[in-house]
Structure formats: C-alpha cells, structure tokens
Structure 1
Amino acid sequence: MISELLRSQPEIALFASLAIGYFIGSFRVGPIQLGGVCGTLIVALLLGQTGARLAPDLKNIAFALFIFALGFTGGPQFFANIGRGWRYGLLSVVEIVSVLALIMLAVTVMRLDAGTAAGLLAGAATESAVIGTASEAIGKLGLRDAETLRLQANIVTAYSVSYLFGLITIVLFTSQFAPLLLRVNLRDEAERVWRKLGGDGAFGEGQQAAAPAIVGRAFKVGAAAGATIQTLEQQQGFNLTIERVMRDGAALPVEPHLALAAGDVILVAGRRDAVVALSSSLGDEVDGAVFGQLFAEKIEVVLTRREAEGLTVAQVRERADPAEGRGVYIAAVTRLDTTVPALPGTELNRGDVLTLVGAKADVERGAQRLGYVLPPTQKTDFVYLGLGVLVGMAIGHLGGRVGGVSVALGTGGGCLLSGLLFGWIRSRHPLIGSLPSAAAQVLKDFGLATFIAAVGLSAGPDAIRLVREYGLALPVAGILMVLVPGLLSLWIGRMFLKLDAPMLLGAIAGQQCSTPAISALVGVTGNSTPVIGYTITYALSNILLPLMGPVVVGLAGKIG
C-alpha cells in the first residue's frame, strides 16, 4: 500500500525524506551532528527500496540552483583569498592533492569504479556538491543507461558510508588529537592569540563577547579639565568619541578644539577597552540620563575599498583621516556567513560585511569611504539569477581531454564557475543582481536537499549490494582520507607556515569544509579565533572540491 502510494506520488517521498532526514540530522552526540543533508540521504535510500523515483529534470534543476548559489555567495571571498591568503590557501592545495592521490591509490588497490571513487571523495571530504558534479560527469561517459545508473548509485552509497566516518574523524582530529600532537593547551593558546590580536579581558564563551564591544558612558570632568576633545580622543587612537558635552545644563557644540572645563558632563562612546582606559583620567562616572534618549545607528557595509584589503581593523582606523573616521566603529565582521572576531588585529578582506555602529551621520560617512551599504531588500533579481544559470549551463558544455583523460565540467561545474563570476560582479556593482542572503541560503539548502533526496531514492536498490561488496574498506578509506591531509597540513602549517594553533586547526576544518568541526573548535577554544583560518580555506575548498568530481571520474575510469 505504502509502496504503491510512493511510486504513484513521488513528491510524498521527497518531502518525507526532507522532513524525517532533517529531524534525524538535528540530533547531536557530543560535537557530532549528522546534519540535514546526510539525514535526508539516509531516509531517501530507505524509501528508495519502495521503487519511488523523482523526475531527472527536477534533480538537475535543484542542483543547478544550489551550485550557482554556492558560487554566488562565495565568489567575493574566493577571489579575495586566491593571492592574499596564500599561507592558508596552501592548505587547501594540500587537501586537494593528497585526497586525489589517496583516491587513485584506493582505485588501484580496491579496484573501485568511478562512481564509488567519487562518492568516497564526497563523503570523506564532507563535500556534498561533489555528488552532483561527479554524477553529471558519469552521465557524459556514453555508457549504457543501466551502467550509468549503477555508477551514479554507487556515488551516493559510498558517500553515505564514508561521510559519517569522515565527519567523526575531522571533528575529533581538530578538537582533540591535533592539540595533543602540537603539545599545546588549545584554550590557553586561543586566549594568547586573542590578546595578540588586540582582544581585551572580554574573553567570553563561543563567538559572543561577555560584554558589548561598543559602549557609551557619562563622566563628570575632573582631572581632564583643560584638555581638548581632540587630545582626549587621540590618546586612545580615536577608538572613542566624545559625543555630547553639557556645561551648566546647556549642550555645547562638540568641536575638536573645544576645551573641557571642570564640572562638564560628557558622554563618551567607543570601544570598551578604550573607554575604560581613559575613564581614570576623565573624572567620576555619572548617570547619563541628562543626555536624554540617544540612538546609535547600525548598518552593514560590504567592503570594496581596494586600499583597505589586507589591513587590520586597527590599521584602517590609523590610516583614516580623523575627521572622516570619527565616531565610526566596526562592531562585527561577517565572512561567508560566519562571524569573524572584530579585533584590532583582525585582517579585512574585500567582500567582508562590516557592521558599523555610531551616530547616523557618522556611519553613513564611513560607509561611503569603505564600500556600499548592504541593501535591506528582500527581492531577488531573477533576471540576473536566470542569466547566471544559463551562462553556467553554456560553460558546462565545455570539456576536453587532459593527459588522455576526458574531463567535462557539466552543468554543475559550469554553474559553479558562473556563480563565482556573477557573485564577484555583484560585489563590485551592488546596484545589480540582488540575491538576499536568506534567499541564497534557501536555494542552497532546498536545492541540495532535493537533489540528494532524488539521487538517494534512485540509488536505494543498489545501496545494500555496494556495502556488502566492500564491507569495512570504505569506512577505513574515508578515515584515512581525513587523517592523511590533516596530518600533512598540521605539519606544514606548524613547521613551515608558522601558523598559530587555533587558526591552523580552523584552517584544517575549513579545508575539509566541515562546519561541525569548526563549531567543536570554537567550543574547545572558548573564542572565535579559529574562524579566522577557517573562512579562507573553506572559501577555497568549497569551490575546488566540487570541481574535482569530474576529475576523479575521468582518472578512475582511465586507471580502472
């Protein structure tokens, strides 16, 4: 009865896979969480035993939207990190080269077919997008339909088996085993790096500081009498601003050369450490009710200014004209939808989203100098989206033979490259191509989950056969494909690149495209310093690994 219903109405199987899969994927055991995509695949493999199938066109459309959105959101960071972040980027190269070498070794020793080899890559590297690019590459080999379906089913099964073991391995390696090999206390090391980057005593759990970074406090002028506003602000590197001055109950115009008098009540706003440092030389802190209700503006700005790329937050402040930078504070830095600590020593990349805080006129002036205000629109530019996907499909028809190996990008690889290009263009010309982050996230989540459900349903009947054929060999191979690149990157990053342990381990989590691993690291370190290394390698590996799908299919076909 149920089998007949699912076969006649496969949309029921689709949404059942999504609902049950994401429910299963939400459970956490320690730092380990399967996630919705893997959960959806497991449920789809089970429901696939009933014979339910989704139309191939739906699968192709879903994957095209997912992979284009992936490239679109990662484009600005990808191009920003190609040259500038070479030390971290080298680790992504280590990941790609070592994984490809291990895959070819497994193909030779275990006699893997092209589908199983590609699935092993996708699962061990925890990069689901490889399933799509490899499936398309197999579809272009010109094999019989039955053989094509078998190889594509093997991708999904090998992925589902190796993913779990790869996920557990990378989480435990980065958060537990690697610190032992480095002989460091990861929490103490993270606190040292935090302070080296300019963090103060607000060393809080996770990515949220124990107290707000930007504060406002009122003082009654005592020892600071006779000093000018500009002198006091300059003492703290313009990391605070005297916003209001009250003298004998009357508000005075705040001008740089205004000299304060004993008994003046002033409102000081800025970075907490700077305000605290200056407070002892100002006078007694008082109730700020005399200033009435004040509003601070908070806007998000995409950094496009070429001169600011690679500079730290402190250097941007130092090089700004005091009149232009006055009253503008960077409260947060968002990179690839991940919050990077906005410390004085944090380096900025073009494409970063900066959260500016200050008076309305000040932050608007700062936004004009740094980039463009991120429009709060909820509308998607479907002209730009449709054109981007069409260009990606056209690129996907490109291919050829490299060293005797036939390599074709396919729709997946083409849309990924197109997304990179269109995302980069959007970052340079913000008036075109609106794709709000929430809409892009829906395209990525729903597109990938639908694609995974479709391939899982079609692969169901072949899943058990492949597991019986290889037994424990696939899980062991998946573990080795995490440990070998991880150990190589740990050695290279520590001995030659001289990277600090928290950022190095974050970069290893990023080269593996593992969100659970960086979450576990942040929990162990107690702050978000590992995120600095994670975002760079994640941006690179998240683009390069899917492009390896067709390469693995071509190489495995030739060697096999």
Structure 2
Amino acid sequence: MIAELLRAQPEIALFTSLAIGYLIGSFRIGLIQLGGVCGTLIVALLLGQTGARLAPDLKNIAFALFIFALGFTGGPQFFANIGRGWRYGLLSVIEIVSVLALIVIAVAVMRLDAGTAAGLLAGAATESAVIGTASEAIAKLGLAEAETVRLQANVVTAYSVSYLFGLITIVLFTSQFAPLLLRIDLRAEAEKMWRTLGGDGALGDGQRAAAPALVGRAFRIDGAHGATVFAIEQQHGFNLTIEQVRRNGSDLPVEPQLALASGDLVLVGGRREAIVAAGPGLGDEVDGADFGQVLAETRDVVLTRRDAHGLTVAQLRERAAPEQGRGVYIAAVARLDSTIPALPGTELNRGDVLTLVGAKTDVERGARRLGYVLVATQKTDFVYLGLGVLAGMAIGHLGGRIGGVSLALGTGGGCLLSGLLFGWIRSRYPLVGSLPSAAAQILKDFGLATFIAAVGLSAGPDAIRLVREYGLALPAAGILLVLVPGLLSLWIGRVFLKLDTPMLLGAIAGQQCSTPAISALVGVAGNSTPVIGYTITYALSNILLPLMGPVVVGVAGKLG
C-alpha cells in the first residue's frame, strides 16, 4: 500500500525525503555531520525502490533556480577574487587540475563510465551542483534513453558513496591531520594570527566580549583644556569621535576647530582601545546618564569602491579624509554566507557587506562613500530573476568540441554563468534586481534538495548494482580525490605561497566547498581566522567545480 501511495502521489515521496533526510543530516558524530542534502539523497535512494518518480520538469526547474541563486549570491565575490587574492585562488586551480587528473586516471584504471566518473567528482569534492551539470551533459550525448537513465543514475549513486568518505576525509584532514603534519598547535597559531590582525583574543562558542570593541564614554574635561576636537581625534588616529560637548548646561555644535575648556562634559564614541588611551588626557570619566545615545545607527553597506578592494580595515580609515571617515566604524564584515572578523588587519573585498556603526549623519555619509546601503526588503524582483534564468537557458545551448571532446554547458552551466553576471550587475546597480538573502537561500536550499530528491528517486533501483560492481574502489577513490589536492595545496601554500596556517587550512576547506570542514576547523582553531581564507577559495571553487561536470562527462566518454 505504501508503494502504491508513493507511486500515485510522488509529492509525498519528495517531502518525506526532505523531512527525514534533513533530520538524518542534522545528527553529528564527533566532527562529522552529513548535512541535509546528503541525508535527502540517502532517503530518496531508499524510497526510489518503490518506483516513485518525480516529473523531469520539476527536477529541471528546481536545479535551474538553485544554480542561478548560487551564481547570483557568489557573483560579486567571484569577480572580486579573480584578480586580487590570487595566492588563495591558486589553491582552487590546484583543486581543479589535480582532481581532473585523478578522474582521468580512475577512468583508465577502473574503467569508469561517464556517469560514475562525474558522480565520483561530485561526491569527493562535496559539490552537489556537479550532479546537475553532469546529468545534463549526459542527456546531450545522444545516447539511447535507457543508457542515458543508467548513466544519470550512476552519477547519483557514485556521489552518495564517495560523498561520505570525501566529507570525513576533508574534515579530519583540515582540522586534525594537517596540523600534525605541520607540527603546529593550531589553536596557538590561530590566536597569534588573531592578534596580528588586531584582535584582542580568541572567543569560544557561545562567548561574547565583556568589553565590546565599540563603546561610548563621557568625560569631564581637565587635562585637555584648550585642545581642539580635531587635534584630539587626530592624536588617536581618528579611532574615536567627540560626539557631543556640553558647556555650562548648554550643548555646543561639535566642529573640528572647537576648543575644549575645563569643566566641559564631552561624549566620546569609538574603538575601546583608543578611548581607554585617551581617557587620562581628557579628564575624569562621568556616568553621562543625561547625554544622548551615541553609535545608535547601524547600516549594512555593500562595498563597491574599486580603490578599497584589498585594503585592510585600518588602511581604509588611514586613507580616508578626516571629514569623510569621522565617526564611522566597521563593526562586522560579511562575505558570502560567512562572517569574518572585522579586525584592523582584515582585508576587505569588493562585494563584502560592511556593518557600519555611528551617528546617523556619519553612517549615511560613509555609506555613500563606500558603496550602497543593503536595503532590508522581503520583495524579490521576479522580472530580474526570470530574465536571469532565461538568459542562463540561452547560454546553456552554447557548446563545442575541444580536442575531440564534445562539451555543452546545459541549463545548469548556463544559469550558473548568468547568475554570476546578474549578481555582479546587481552589486554595481543596486536599484535593480532585488533578491533578498533569505529568498536566495531558500532558492538554493529548496532547489537543490528537490533536485537531489528527484534524481535519488529515479536512481534508486540502480544504486545497489553500482555498489556491487565497484565495491570499495569508489570510497578509496573518493578519499584520494580529497587527500591529493589537499596535500598539494598544503605544501604549495606553506612553502611557496607563504600563507598563514589558519587561513591556509581554511582555504583548503574552501577549495573543497566543505561547510562542515570550516565549521570543524573554526572549532579547533578557537576563532574565525580560518574563514578569511575559506571565503576566497569557496567563491571560486563553488563556480568552477560545477563547470567541470560536463568536462568530466566528455573526457570519460572519449576515453571509454
């Protein structure tokens, strides 16, 4: 009866796969967590034995929305990191080249078909999007329908087998094995790096700084009698701002040339270390209960200034004219789906979302200088979204032959490229193309999960056959596809590129597009410094790896 029900109403199989799959994926064993996508695939493969199938159109639409949203959100960072961050970007190139070489060797030695080879790439690299681009490429080979279905099923099965071993390997390699190979204490190195960037120390899970970085203090002027507002702010590197001056019960307009007098009450806001240093020279601190609020305004601003790309937070402040940078402070930096430490030594990239804090007029002035305010909206521009997906489908028809290998981007590759372009355009012209981050995330999560469930249901009957055919060879190949690029990147990054260890290990996690790996790495490191390297390689590999799906299909088909 259950099989009959699932065949009659396949939507039940879809949502059962999502619900149980994400439940399974939420369980954590030590440092390892499968995640919802892998859990959904496992459940869908089991339910696929009943004969339940989802319509191919639903699968195609879900994947097109997922891959477009993936490109859209990653577009600004992808283009920002192509030219600058090349040392980290080189690790993504190492990943692509070494993985393709290993896949070619595996095809020759293990006699893999195109579907199994592409699934091995997707699973070992923990990049689910490869399933879609490879499946589309297989559909364009002109094979008989039965053979096409078989090869597409092999993509999914090989992915499910190699994913688990690839995931475990990259998590353990970055967080455990690599520090042992380098003979370092990762936590000590990460804390040292944190201090180098200008941090005050590492925070553990669930901890918050008891002494926040941005503060406001009130002082009664004594030692600074006769000093101007500008002179005091300049003396402390413009890391503090005199926001309010009260003399004889009346508030004075705060101007750079205003000279302070003994007995004045002043409200000072800015970075804690600067205010602590300035305090003895200003006078006695008072409670300031009757002063207005300082640092009350917060704005999320997308950084678009070309000359700000690659500068550290401290350099950005140093290069700003006093009248432009006055009273504006960067409290947080978001890059892709990650928050990186907003320390003085943190490098900024175009496309970063900066959380600016300060008085309203100061923050608005800073936002205009740095980029554009990320308006909090829940509305999606469906005109822009629809045109973007249509453009992707049109690009997907492009293809050709390279060295006798037939390559075609397909809808997946086309929508990925159009998403990159439309996301980049949105970052430059923010008045068009609204796609709120929450909406983009649901497109990515639900689109990918629905696509994975659909292909898992269709691949169910062939899963057992492929596992029996290759046995332990696929897991072993999956482990090698992680270890070889990881070891190469570790050696080259350490010896030749001279990358700092926490960021290097984060970059290796990013070149594998592994969110569980960076989560485990941050936990072991004790702070978020590995995320700085992770975001760069993640942005590049998340785009380049899916484009390798058709390449692997073409090469494997040629060799086979």
- TM category, shorter: over 0.9
Give me the whole-angstrom Cα distance separating, in 2, the residues matched to 1:320 and 1:33. 45
Q: 2:492 matched to 1:492? A: yes
The answer for the alignment partner of 1:59 in structure 2 is 59
The answer for the alignment partner of 2:77 in structure 1 is 77
Checking the alignment, whether the CA contact within 8 Å between 1:313 and 1:343 is kept in structure 2 is yes
Q: 2:233 matched to 1:229? A: no
Q: Secondary structure at the match of 2:73?
A: helix
Q: Secondary structure at the match of 2:237?
A: coil
Amino acid across the alignment from 2:202: F
Give me the whole-angstrom Cα distance separating, in 2, the residues matched to 1:512 and 1:552. 17
With 147-156 and 295-304 compared, the bigger mean Cα shift is at 295-304
Shift of 1:248: 2.8
1:114-193 to structure 2, matched below 5 A, reads: 114-193=114-193
Give me the whole-angstrom Cα distance separating, in 1, the residues matched to 2:499 and 2:396. 38
The answer for the alignment partner of 1:299 in structure 2 is 299
Checking the alignment, whether the CA contact within 8 Å between 1:207 and 1:528 is kept in structure 2 is no
Give me the whole-angstrom Cα distance separating, in 1, the residues matched to 2:430 and 2:524. 38
With 22-31 and 412-421 compared, the bigger mean Cα shift is at 22-31
Give me the whole-angstrom Cα distance separating, in 2, the residues matched to 1:57 and 1:429. 33
Q: 2:210 matched to 1:214? A: no
Shift of 1:9: 0.1
Amino acid across the alignment from 1:86: W
With 214-223 and 386-395 compared, the bigger mean Cα shift is at 214-223
Checking the alignment, whether the CA contact within 8 Å between 1:207 and 1:341 is kept in structure 2 is no
With 134-143 and 282-291 compared, the bigger mean Cα shift is at 282-291
Shift of 1:321: 1.0
The answer for the alignment partner of 2:279 in structure 1 is 279
With 228-237 and 489-498 compared, the bigger mean Cα shift is at 228-237
The answer for the alignment partner of 2:257 in structure 1 is 257
Give me the whole-angstrom Cα distance separating, in 1, the residues matched to 2:334 and 2:252. 37
Give me the whole-angstrom Cα distance separating, in 2, the residues matched to 1:296 and 1:304. 24
**Which 4+ residue blocks in structure 1 deviate beyond 6 angstroms?**
none
Deviations along 1:179-209, whole A, 9 cap, x unmatched?
111121111111111111122x243225975
Give me the whole-angstrom Cα distance separating, in 2, the residues matched to 1:447 and 1:292. 48
Give me the whole-angstrom Cα distance separating, in 1, the residues matched to 2:207 and 2:297. 20
Checking the alignment, whether the CA contact within 8 Å between 2:216 and 2:295 is kept in structure 1 is no
Please provide the CA RMSD for this pair: 1.2
Q: 2:310 matched to 1:313? A: no
Shift of 1:527: 1.2
Q: Secondary structure at the match of 1:291?
A: coil
Shift of 1:217: 1.4
How many residue pairs match? The answer is: 559
Q: 2:192 matched to 1:205? A: no
Give me the whole-angstrom Cα distance separating, in 2, the residues matched to 1:350 and 1:379. 24
Checking the alignment, whether the CA contact within 8 Å between 1:405 and 1:555 is kept in structure 2 is yes
Shift of 1:223: 2.4
Amino acid across the alignment from 2:132: G
Checking the alignment, whether the CA contact within 8 Å between 2:194 and 2:201 is kept in structure 1 is no
Give me the whole-angstrom Cα distance separating, in 1, the residues matched to 2:250 and 2:201. 36
1:530-545 to structure 2, matched below 5 A, reads: 530-545=530-545
Deviations along 1:439-480, whole A, 9 cap, x unmatched?
111100000000000000000001111111111111111111
Deviations along 1:283-304, whole A, 9 cap, x unmatched?
2222120204556110111111
The answer for the alignment partner of 2:23 in structure 1 is 23
Give me the whole-angstrom Cα distance separating, in 2, the residues matched to 1:418 and 1:207. 39
Give me the whole-angstrom Cα distance separating, in 1, the residues matched to 2:157 and 2:190. 39
Give me the whole-angstrom Cα distance separating, in 1, the residues matched to 2:124 and 2:240. 48
Give me the whole-angstrom Cα distance separating, in 2, the residues matched to 1:422 and 1:498. 35
Q: 2:444 matched to 1:444? A: yes
Q: 2:393 matched to 1:393? A: yes
Give me the whole-angstrom Cα distance separating, in 2, the residues matched to 1:353 and 1:391. 27
Checking the alignment, whether the CA contact within 8 Å between 2:21 and 2:36 is kept in structure 1 is yes
Amino acid across the alignment from 1:26: S
Q: Secondary structure at the match of 2:263?
A: coil
The answer for the alignment partner of 1:46 in structure 2 is 46
The answer for the alignment partner of 2:326 in structure 1 is 326
Identity in percent: 84
Give me the whole-angstrom Cα distance separating, in 2, the residues matched to 1:202 and 1:218. 26
Deviations along 1:412-435, whole A, 9 cap, x unmatched?
000000101111111111111111
Q: 2:374 matched to 1:369? A: no
Amino acid across the alignment from 1:134: A
Checking the alignment, whether the CA contact within 8 Å between 1:313 and 1:347 is kept in structure 2 is yes
Q: 2:95 matched to 1:88? A: no
Give me the whole-angstrom Cα distance separating, in 2, the residues matched to 1:33 and 1:97. 28
Q: Secondary structure at the match of 1:59?
A: helix
Give me the whole-angstrom Cα distance separating, in 2, the residues matched to 1:248 and 1:381. 55
Deviations along 1:399-421, whole A, 9 cap, x unmatched?
11100111111000000001011
With 503-512 and 305-314 compared, the bigger mean Cα shift is at 305-314
The answer for the alignment partner of 1:522 in structure 2 is 522
TM-score when normalising by structure 2: 0.98
> Residues 151, 510 of structure 1: CA spacing in aligned structure 2 closer, same or farther, 3 A cutoff?
same
Checking the alignment, whether the CA contact within 8 Å between 1:116 and 1:155 is kept in structure 2 is yes
Amino acid across the alignment from 2:424: W
The answer for the alignment partner of 1:427 in structure 2 is 427
Q: Secondary structure at the match of 1:299?
A: strand
Shift of 1:541: 0.1
Stretches of structure 2 lacking an aligned partner (at least 5 in a row): none
Give me the whole-angstrom Cα distance separating, in 2, the residues matched to 1:23 and 1:265. 58
The answer for the alignment partner of 2:107 in structure 1 is 107
Stretches of structure 1 lacking an aligned partner (at least 5 in a row): none
Q: Secondary structure at the match of 1:504?
A: helix
The answer for the alignment partner of 1:245 in structure 2 is 245
TM-score when normalising by structure 1: 0.98
Shift of 1:249: 2.5
Give me the whole-angstrom Cα distance separating, in 2, the residues matched to 1:209 and 1:538. 27
Give me the whole-angstrom Cα distance separating, in 2, the residues matched to 1:5 and 1:274. 68
Amino acid across the alignment from 1:117: A
Checking the alignment, whether the CA contact within 8 Å between 2:503 and 2:531 is kept in structure 1 is yes
Give me the whole-angstrom Cα distance separating, in 1, the residues matched to 2:281 and 2:522. 37
Amino acid across the alignment from 1:145: E
Checking the alignment, whether the CA contact within 8 Å between 1:206 and 1:522 is kept in structure 2 is no
Q: Secondary structure at the match of 1:345?
A: coil
